[in-house]
Amino acid sequence: MPVYEYVCTECDTRFEKMRPMSLATEPAPCPGCHKDARRVLSRFACFTTDESGMSAPVGGSSCASCTASDCSSCSI
C-alpha cells in the first residue's frame, strides 16, 4: 500500500498516510484538527557517500548556495 503526503487546509499540519490507491485523491482527516487535508507532491532527497566518505547528493547538488558544513540541518 502506498504512502501519501497531505497538508491540512485548516492548520497547515503536514503528515503522511498509508492508503489504498483507490483513495489517493480523496481528502484525509488531519491528525491534529480532524479537518480535511489535501494530498501534496512529496519531496525527498537522496544521498550517497563520495570517494572521501563524505555525504553527497545523488544526481548533483541542489545545495549549491548552502553554507552548512553538513546536511543534518537541511530541511529538504
Report strand pairing: 3-8 vs 14-18: antiparallel
- More confident call, 26 vs 69: 26
pLDDT tens track for 26-58 = 999 999 999 999 999 877 777 888 888 888 777
pLDDT at residue 69 tops 80: no
- By mean pLDDT, which of 7-16, 30-39, 54-63 is the weakest? 54-63
Q: How far apart are CA 62 and CA 44, in angstroms?
A: 12
